Amino acid sequence: MRQTRRNFFVSAALMSSSLALPSGVFAGQNPPTPPPKPEPGYTPNPAEVYSHPAEPAAAKRARLLENEKEFRQDVERLYRLASDLRDELGKTPTAEVFSVHIVKETEQIEKLAKSLRSKAKFA
């Protein structure tokens, strides 16, 4: 009985190894095919890409003047808001807690100041 059991396990091992062996051996011979290369898209002419028509000087100057006008209006508005806040704080006793209105005004002033700073950086 031991001999038949041993023969059974040996034959099972040989059979399973023979089934596993060809797939491992043949897998190295047939590498996976790479995907096809994509078709080249539209490539623009470099001369067209780098040649920007010159903007007329008058239009550029008008845009700069408009930006300067907006900047000056915002500075005037910031000055007015800061002056109003200073006057309102002068009327309020310092021992009391500030009202929500004062806090909102300071937030509005901060927002406008940040806006002006970013405009000045990119001007």
| Dihedral, CA of residue 86, residue 87, residue 93 and residue 94, to nearest 10 | 10
Q: Tokens 């900047």, residue?
A: 71
Instruction: State the angle between helix axes of 100-122 and 57-91 in degrees (0 to 180), rounded to the nearest 10.
Output: 160
**Among the residues of 28-99, which ranges form H helices?**
46-50, 57-91
pLDDT tens figures, 57-108: 788 888 889 989 999 999 999 999 999 999 988 888 776 777 888 889 999 9
- Rounded Cα gap, residues 74 and 87, in angstroms: 20
Q: Mean pLDDT over all residues of the chain?
A: 80
Q: How confident is the model at residue 11 (pLDDT cuts 50, 70, 90)?
A: confident
Q: Is there a contact between 71 and 120 (Cβ–Cβ < 8 Å)?
A: yes
Helix (H) or strand (E) holding 106: helix 100-122
Helix (H, G, I), strand (E, B) or coil at 118: helix
Q: Grade residue 116 by pLDDT with cuts at 50, 70 and 90.
A: very high
pLDDT in the model for residue 7? 84
Whether the per-residue pLDDT at 23 is higher than 60: the answer is no
